[in-house]
Amino acid sequence: MRKLPPRAVRADAYPPLFFTVALVATVLLPTRAPAIVIAFVAAALFPILDSFPSPLRNRRIPVLMTALGCAIGLALVVSPQHRPFRLASPAEGTAPVMLEGVLVEDAALSADGGVRYRMRVHRVSAEAAETSATGVATVIARRGEELAAGRIIRVPVPSDRLPATSLPVGAPAAGFIRVDAVEAVGWAAPWYELRAGVRAALFDRIDRMGYRSGGLFRALTTGSRAQLSRAQQASFRESGSSHLLALSGMHLGIIATVVFGVVRILCGKRVAFLVTLAVAVVYVALVGARPSLLRALAMFAVGGGIALAYRSTEPINVLAIAVALPVIVAPHLAAELSFQLSVLSLVGIIVIAPLVYRRLVRRVPPVLAAPLSAAFGAQLATAPLTLSVFGVIHPVAVLSSLLLVPMVTLFVWSGLVWLAASLIMPLGASAFGNGLGVLTLFSGVLREQASLIHHTASLFAGVPSVAVSPLVWGSVVLALAVCVADGLDWFGLGRR
């Protein structure tokens, strides 16, 4: 059995972790009093611990980072630019209130068939009265287009649907405002319009793959699910594989692996990292700065930079830094469900998966033990949040991921090759409609891959999910407790 690397057990080996936990907790707290108390207590303990002998003196850095995290978090939550939109007082009368603002991210299809818009509100008008406003609002329209970020929109909202009466003071995230439709009236800046044009050209190129393969590739690489039917989306959701359709570190990693591998052969490791980082930044800017993508981009930049500097650190520290940077720039990300699930899944892979692997590898070949451990770790770490929000979990996700992740990876790689070929082989592209050319043959391969992925997801979707119950909660808590006990033993803290 492969020997596991030694673990860092000193508390001062994890300063980024203490900072990030304090920062995120402060941003998410409904009231600021606990964070203020923690910050003052931690700041007071720092000089006191200096007078104690080691190992208590080693706790100074964690204490200092905790105080710093709380302080920065407090500064962020009072910023008006990051507060959720809420009227100062409930609107009077029955006339609709007109909200005007700029989309901060690309519109997306919601689970109930509507379209979700996240907008930064800067103007509110009602019955000829107009006022300025700030804050981020999430609007769910019953019908609408997938408008790109940077679009200026107007939203007529009935006064009884405004968040003034439904959102508590100090809430960390915007409430949902449900409307019938929105109106697009312009662009916030020229480069937003340029980006939208590039996205439209990319969508048009992807659609030429064919309906089935193009729709899946478009969802996997750009996050747009406009070409996926509700049945197809449901099959991914019910098989516990909905994370494959949500842009995350996996998708960025698939693309980065291709770019890094090709450039490294030609230019070496350092140049390959810089080129891959530039491509990753362009990719995130093109498809949209989704919360999980921002976390993945920050983790790639931090981890790659540390590796190039020939330094080593704990993976959990890299994750902590990758979480803190986006939250400092955009504090509302801490309350985003996709961001929370993305972070928790990485925590499960980094912390829980190695504990499972060292037990599983004794009975299962390493080629299967590694992905099974990662899938189980991610599933267990996200289970409490998933149960709290959705009321169900899909245990079959551990097995479905074992098959669907490599299938999706191969499909995305094949699609990237098709896109590159379509740009350098105009003759094959022009012959697409006549059933001739290399691209047509390759499109058939992509279509079969997409069909296999959909059939596999549908197969696993037939496995019943597990609804929330005392037994389920007890099983999750017990599994987490076993992992904690196993982790203490691995770190040597459980032995005398």
Instruction: Report how far residue 259's alpha carbon sits from residue 279's, in angstroms, rounded to the nearest whole number.
Output: 8
Q: Is residue 38 part of a domain?
A: yes
* Residue where one domain finishes, among candidates 131, 161, 188: 188
Task: Report pTM.
Answer: 0.79
67 and 125 together in one domain: no
Residue 174 has what pLDDT? 43
Lowest mean pLDDT among 38-47, 144-153, 276-285, 457-466: 38-47
* Residue where one domain finishes, among candidates 137, 160, 188: 188
Q: pLDDT over 70 for what percent of the chain?
A: 81
103 and 137 together in one domain: yes
- Cα within 13 Å of Cα(379), Cβ side: 26
Query: Would you tell me how many other CB atoms lie within 10 Å of the CB of residue 78?
Result: 10
107 and 154 together in one domain: yes
68 and 122 together in one domain: no
Give, in order, the Cα–Cα distances in Å from 266 to each of 200, 252, 281, 365: 32, 21, 21, 35
Do 449 and 317 contact (CB within 8 A), yes or no?
Answer: no
Residue 427 has what pLDDT? 43
Lowest mean pLDDT among 161-165, 379-383, 425-429: 425-429
Token pair of 306, please? 């540390």
Instruction: Report how far residue 276's alpha carbon sits from residue 278's, in angstroms, rounded to the nearest whole number.
Output: 5
Q: Is residue 346 part of a domain?
A: no
69 and 108 together in one domain: no
Residue 155's domain spans which residues? 97-188
Lowest mean pLDDT among 88-102, 264-278, 440-454: 88-102
Q: Is residue 105 part of a domain?
A: yes
Q: Is residue 101 part of a domain?
A: yes
Residue 268 has what pLDDT? 80
Residue 2 has what pLDDT? 45
Do 55 and 103 contact (CB within 8 A), yes or no?
Answer: no
Q: Total structural domains in the chain?
A: 2
71 and 26 together in one domain: yes
Per-residue pLDDT reduced to its tens digit, 430-444: 444 444 466 677 777
Q: Is residue 327 part of a domain?
A: no
63 and 112 together in one domain: no
Helices and strands in the chain, H and E counts: 17, 10
Q: What is the mean pLDDT of residues 134-152?
A: 82
Residue 171 has what pLDDT? 36
Q: Which of 208, 153, 196, 156 is nearest to 179 (CA)?
A: 156
Do 341 and 386 contact (CB within 8 A), yes or no?
Answer: yes
Could you give phi then psi for residue 178, rounded to 5 degrees? -100, 130
Q: Is residue 166 part of a domain?
A: yes
Q: Is residue 132 part of a domain?
A: yes
CATH number, position 115: 2.40.50
In the predicted structure, residue 364 carries a pLDDT above the cut 50: yes
69 and 103 together in one domain: no
Q: Is residue 156 part of a domain?
A: yes
Per-residue pLDDT reduced to its tens digit, 335-349: 888 888 888 888 988
* Residue where one domain finishes, among candidates 78, 106, 121: 78
104 and 179 together in one domain: yes
Helices marked H in 87-189: none
DSSP symbol at 146:
-
184 and 107 together in one domain: yes
68 and 103 together in one domain: no
Q: pLDDT over 90 for what percent of the chain?
A: 0
113 and 179 together in one domain: yes
| Residue showing tokens 């991921």 | 401
